[in-house]
Amino acid sequence: MDEFFKPALDCSMWPEETGCLIDKARSEGLALAWDRLAKQTPQCNFCEMGLSCAKCVMGPCRIIPGLDRNQGVCGADADLTVARNFGRFVAGGSAAHSDHGRDLVEVLYEIGCGSTSAYSIRDEAKLRRLAEEFGLKKDGDIKQVAKTVAERLFADYSTHGPGLAFLGRVPKARRELWDKLSLTPRGIDREPVEMLHRTHMGVDCDPVSLCLHAARTSLSDGWGGSMAGTEISDVIFGTPTPGKTKVNLGVLKKDMVNILVHGHSPVVSEMILAAASDPAILAEATKAGASGVNIAGLCCTGNELLMRRSIPLAGNHMMTELTIVTGAVETIVADYQCIMPSLVNISQCYHTKFVTTSDKAHFPGADTYHFTPHNAGELAKQVVLKAIEAFKKRDPSRVNIPVEPVEVMSGFSNEAILGALGGTPTPLIEAIKAGTVRGAVGVVGCNNPKLKQDEQHVTLTRELIKKDILVLVTGCATSAMGKAGLLVPEGASQAGSNLAGLCRTLGIPPVLHVGSCVDNSRILQLCAVLADAIGVDISALPVAASAPEWYSEKAAAIGLYAVASGITTHLGLPPMILGSPAITSLAVSGLNDVVGAAFIVEPDPVKAGKLLDGHISRKRLALGLSA
Ligand code: MSK
């Protein structure tokens, strides 16, 4: 157990810019996530094992299997307690992604109703394709098409809709398996709500039943809310195409007004970006002595802008506090998810404005702007003007931008990937058959202060590409890959000779950036396209997923929908289930017999690479291909 939860507090092991800014923060008397983790360590072993329960006031209870405290007050044992906790954990992640997706559908609806001038349809062809896919009228007035597509997706959020619109993308064998196991999600909102109901005391007391419903809940996210978020974001803001930009703290500019957009949704950040190029606003920046307004991203809002607009990415989850410590950030504009509450206090120690924009994400002490589709354009201008005011108060003696930016290539939507292959998956399938690409792994997810920052992502990925395994990356893994030189075509020099040759021929990196957290749905869709083209279930493909440094409920939901979709998934840290040997065994092996995939938990990235390589070899052999 201990090896999984040992915090990495050895400064010499951090990337250069992290260690440098942690030192600066400490010299300025600021505590960061690593310091707070140290104060929390050792953490509660019952919670780590999933054996504590605070869901009713007969408790809280702590279960000690095998001793006289092997049940809570209600009689729940270790297996049931772990299952209840895990179910709620997954429901939280699924709800977060899916509510994000709903926001995009609501903007699409407002566009369809003609009630917003701030937003429009950038990819009409994709919207019409979606209408056709959903069996709706695809021709005619684009606003009417937008309205009917939005209404169809609203129905997916309800309890008694016609069935999730995107389930038509799921390969037939997988759909039949889900139907047989009662795993087919019935409504995007319904499944997480039912999970909260089932885990109330005295409802579902079967740990296996709860785990299966957790899988159904996660599928309502992956093939429902997240997929809606991705697809409708593409419709409104444009489907990504490959482009080059930069990552790392070095994207901050000493002579410019620096605004960082943070969170997950493109709805606000796209408006901030537009406001920052308004000539009248740029004139104000000049008057303030700045050479312009520099927009850069953090976390998945950053990934959204990186994918579609080639906007630079300043950092990932564990860099968010440190960006403020540079002393060069005028404003952080936050929407929701993965935004540390500590950012408010740290901002107040500098000239930085911390701005919140969502009515569902309030941060006491922040400057609050409630963005809606009706006021977004105007509010975005106000936010940028306030940042220009803040620039006048910047203290140059406190500015330290410790590194140079690193070039990356991004924008690999499925449309871009398949488009580059002539519009069909056939060339990719031929490359897989020939062993040029032995398989593919999605390396996704967060950072966690318990681990050496970025190291798991990068080490695992290097192990995979060395074996001619293509890597697709999303979320906070992205800047780790970028800093390691893996997101440019020259990164092919770190790959095996077959994959390297393909990358050089196509001018692509060995690691393709496919987007943000919700964009893991792109990976699901691509797997489904490949499975259909070969005529197999997704579980037969030589593919896998990995979240080496994950921390969040959303990452647990992603991992579970990947497994329930037939994609074996590696985790660098275990979920809080180890207190139940039965559920742990189900997660790491039993699920293979149920859904044809399971979790691998391995903290060592080199060993994880070997395990995933072995998995891909076995899948290739089963398809009659060379290992
Ligand atoms: S932001 S969920 S830390 S990837 Fe999507 Fe990053 Fe993980 Fe949040």
In the chain, the number of structural domains is 3
- Per-residue pLDDT for 356 more than 80? yes
Domain boundary among 211, 237, 263: 237
pLDDT digits (tens, 9 = 90+) for 307-318: 999 999 999 999
Q: How large is the average pLDDT for residues 282-291?
A: 98
* CATH number of 611's domain: 3.40.50.2030
Are 374 and 466 members of one domain? Answer: no
Are 102 and 122 members of one domain? Answer: yes
Are 531 and 386 members of one domain? Answer: no
480 Cβ closer than 6 Å to some ligand 1 atom: no
Handedness of CA 14, 17, 20, 24 (dihedral sign): negative
**Does residue 68 lie within any of the structural domains?**
no
**Does residue 242 lie within any of the structural domains?**
no
Are 269 and 215 members of one domain? Answer: no
229 Cβ closer than 6 Å to some ligand 1 atom: no
Are 423 and 493 members of one domain? Answer: yes
What is the residue range of 136's domain?
78-237
pLDDT digits (tens, 9 = 90+) for 471-491: 999 999 999 999 999 999 999
Atom from ligand 1 closest to the CA of residue 446: 7
Terminal alpha carbon distance of the chain? 34
Are 174 and 273 members of one domain? Answer: no
Are 88 and 130 members of one domain? Answer: yes
Residue pair 400/24 in contact (Cβ under 8 Å)? The answer is yes
**Does residue 24 lie within any of the structural domains?**
no
Ligand 1, atom 8, residue with closest C-alpha: 338
Atom from ligand 1 closest to the CA of residue 263: 1
Handedness of CA 215, 220, 224, 230 (dihedral sign): negative
Phi, psi (degrees; rounded to nearest 5) at 331: -145, 140
* Residue to mutate (ligand 1; options 338, 481, 553, 573; most atoms within 8 A of CB): 338
558 Cβ closer than 6 Å to some ligand 1 atom: no
Ligand 1 centroid–CA 75 distance in Å is 36
pLDDT digits (tens, 9 = 90+) for 605-627: 999 999 999 999 999 999 999 99
Domain boundary among 179, 202, 237: 237
Are 179 and 204 members of one domain? Answer: yes
**Does residue 5 lie within any of the structural domains?**
no
Domain boundary among 207, 237, 267: 237
**Does residue 67 lie within any of the structural domains?**
no
446 Cβ closer than 6 Å to some ligand 1 atom: yes
Rounded to whole angstroms, how far apart are CA atoms 308 and 558?
A: 22
* CATH number of 123's domain: 1.20.1270.30
Are 148 and 83 members of one domain? Answer: yes
Ligand 1 centroid–CA 500 distance in Å is 29
597 Cβ closer than 6 Å to some ligand 1 atom: no
Rounded to whole angstroms, how far apart are CA atoms 335 and 362?
A: 10
Are 595 and 472 members of one domain? Answer: yes
Are 189 and 281 members of one domain? Answer: no
pTM over 0.95: yes
100 Cβ closer than 6 Å to some ligand 1 atom: no
**Does residue 95 lie within any of the structural domains?**
yes
Least confident of 10-19, 179-188, 354-363, 401-410: 10-19
Are 441 and 507 members of one domain? Answer: yes
Residue pair 55/84 in contact (Cβ under 8 Å)? The answer is yes
